[in-house]
Amino acid sequence: MRLDIRRGVSTPSRRPRVASGADAEMQLPSYRPCAPRSGSRPSGLPLRASSSARALRACPSARGMTLIEILVVLVLIGIVMGIVGGNFLGQGEKAKGKAAKIEIGQISQTLDLFKLEVGRYPTSQEGLQALLTAPPGVTNWNGPYWKKDTLPKDPWGNEYKYIFPGQHGAYDIVSYGGDGKEGGEGADKDITSWDQ
């Protein structure tokens, strides 16, 4: 009861009406924050289990990735791997080209030693095999001149082409690169004794 001083009449006190049942659900906001800030309590009525699940679905941070987002991530990963893999592949082919140049230089030094002792370079018919075994009719051969037991091959597994007399020098030594054919660009470019 509450006493009205102006009128001197006691009137029943009114309490605020609390919604219950279906009314409580109707008063819930359509979107609630994921979690209250520390030290504060969200205003309004307590959520029911179904309402809290609905609120979690509405929370942006609680949702998963969509199919389009996953595809975008996979495409980006593929692009990065393609760039990195391409760079590694290019470096490998460059390393093979440098190795072929070095080996052609070693063959040239061995041919010079052959000429110093025999008095001439091997003919095209004798080839680089003359560095391992004495050609017929050569008396002052003091080999083998090549340190390995087999003929040298380029880094791609192909034999070096030896030409005597050469068109670009006393002799020509050629590696046809990755494709094993004359000409080409990039990894397939020929490596020659006159480009040392």
Place of tokens 């791997």: 81
The Cα–Cα gap between 188 and 183 comes to 7
pLDDT at 125: 94
Q: What pLDDT, in 10s, does the model give residues 16-66?
A: 555 455 444 455 455 555 555 555 445 554 545 455 555 445 555 556 788
More confident residue, 70 or 33: 70
The pLDDT of residue 196 is above 70: no
| Domain spans, the chain | 67-195
- Residue-level pLDDT at 22: 47
pLDDT at residue 10, as a whole number: 52
More confident residue, 10 or 156: 156
Look at residue 133 in the predicted model and tell me its pLDDT: 92
Contacts of 131 (CB under 8 A, 6+ apart): 107, 110, 111, 114, 122, 143, 144, 145, 146, 151
Look at residue 115 and tell me whether its pLDDT is greater than 90: yes
The dihedral through the CA atoms of 57, 62, 67, 68 has a sign that is positive
Which CATH superfamily groups domain 67-195?
Glycoprotein, Type 4 Pilin (3.30.700.10)
Please tell me the predicted confidence (pLDDT) of residue 24.
45
Q: What is the pLDDT of residues 144-158, one digit of tens each?
A: 999 888 888 999 999
What is the separation, in whole angstroms, between the first and last Cα of the chain? 111
- Judge contact between 127 and 110, C-beta under 8 A: no
Percent of the chain with pLDDT over 70: 65
Instruction: Please answer whether residues 160 and 174 qualify as being in contact, where contact means their C-beta atoms are separated by less than 8 angstroms.
Output: yes
Say which range, 31-35, 123-127, 171-175, 180-184, has the weakest mean pLDDT: 31-35
